[in-house]
Amino acid sequence: MRVVIQRTAHASVTINGHCKAAIGQGMMILVGIEEADGQEDIDWLCKKIVNLRIFDDENGVMNRSILDAGGDILVISQFTLHASTKKGNRPSYIRAAKPEISIPLYERFCQDLSAALGKEIGTGEFGADMKVELLNDGPVTICIDTKNKE
Structural contact between residues 49 and 113, judged by C-beta atoms closer than 8 angstroms: yes
Catalytic residue status for 80: yes
Of the listed 6, 8, 79, 109, which one is catalytic? 79
Q: Dihedral, CA atoms, 82, 86, 87, 89, nearest 10 degrees?
A: 70
Instruction: Name the phi and psi angles at 73, rounded to 5.
Output: -130, 135
Is 126 a known active-site residue?
Answer: no
Out of 6, 8, 78, 146, pick the active-site residue: 78
Q: Which residues are marked as active site? A: 78-80
